[in-house]
Structure 1
């Protein structure tokens, strides 16, 4: 049994997968490892289940009847920051980037090992809960984060971030203006020992779209050429 409980209940997973063999295998494996699972075989029903059941993690196939996985991600991001893991048969970098840009937090390329799926879900849950996060509110110029409640404000206006976007911003806050590399971010935020640097680039772009007045000329999340990214402590883009 896993150890990823949510308070006094088991974590709830919504699985949206139209391939019955994959859906049945994933559902049985996750239930055997202690999760409550709702399995859906189409995009429209999957979106409804995510909206109504408010799961702790959503596992969504990219190619679905009714609504695609990308469409589900975009729609979910209008009302929820639930971590989304996309299952895709498309291994090309551009295809994976499209899923991340749509709002996915992580992806797994088919065929995959069920054990890896379990580890990815556990990682998403740990980061979403941030049980060991500091409780004090921190402000860097015009940006404020509340780690205990995982909330963010710009100039007193709250900004809704997806789980991975929040984790990326909190990581930059932790480094207090020091530049961090994409590899560091992949390791410390995603928990990956290797992976596509473009994954980080996509999430930085999404974060800037929500934080910045002009994402093309960022004032807060800055690129440190040849190194990676850093958080401006002045809000002046310097």
Structure 2
């Protein structure tokens, strides 16, 4: 049974989420603050963590950053607002996805299943894909830059492998949403923010990327 940690300060929302997710077949643990949630996750890691952004004390953004420093557990941010700044900030902090309150549990459960399927391995049978100083090893779940390991999340790795499998070809944001996030309809900001995070990790000059480039009006491509 997959375990999920719900970090939410509103007792009513936290309880209703926990009950609904238990009905979906999850083993649910709860925490009312980021501090308690971080302790709980470090003590007994859950398979997925849901983080409310407006937490007392350490807020949700810093909580996500701390969780991401600890590892690559799938993180879904929960926001009471659909404000672009908050959503982008949560993704930039390290969240894999987000949902807006009021939470539709069936949709949330589907997103949780999708994010957990983004394993560290890819379908490509190629043992290594080389783009100059960048080396991607799909079967091993590794990324190297100048021979040194690069720490990437599951979603970042899946995105990078998808682009590498179509090297030199432009993939639209919608295509990437379908292939990486498994969403037929979704927010294209997910793609843009994850591309930006990847550039910070794999490019010598993220402001003028050599490998992961934007094709204006079309999408992104990975080039040698």
TM-score range, shorter chain: over 0.9
Structure 2, gaps ≥5 residues long: none
**Which whole-Å deviations, capped at 9, do the CAs of 1:77-130 have from their partners, x for residues lacking one?**
222111100110011222211111111100000012111111111111112365
How much does 1:193 deviate?
A: 2.2
Distance in 1, Cα, partners of 2:153 & 2:65: 11
Distance in 2, Cα, partners of 1:187 & 1:225: 20
Equivalence for 2:127: 137
Q: Is the 8 A contact 1:63 1:69 kept in 2?
A: yes
Equivalence for 2:150: 159
How much does 1:182 deviate?
A: 1.1
Asked if 1:42 corresponds to 2:36, the answer is no
Q: Is the 8 A contact 1:83 1:128 kept in 2?
A: no
How much does 1:136 deviate?
A: 4.3
User: What SS does the corresponding residue of 1:64 show, helix, strand or coil?
Assistant: coil
The CA RMSD over aligned residues, in Å, is 1.7
Distance in 2, Cα, partners of 1:148 & 1:82: 19
Asked if 1:22 corresponds to 2:50, the answer is no
Q: Is the 8 A contact 1:208 1:221 kept in 2?
A: yes
Equivalence for 1:185: 176
Name the CA shift for 1:36/1:136 in 2 (closer, same or farther; >3 Å): farther
Equivalence for 1:236: none
How much does 1:135 deviate?
A: 5.5
User: What SS does the corresponding residue of 1:180 show, helix, strand or coil?
Assistant: coil
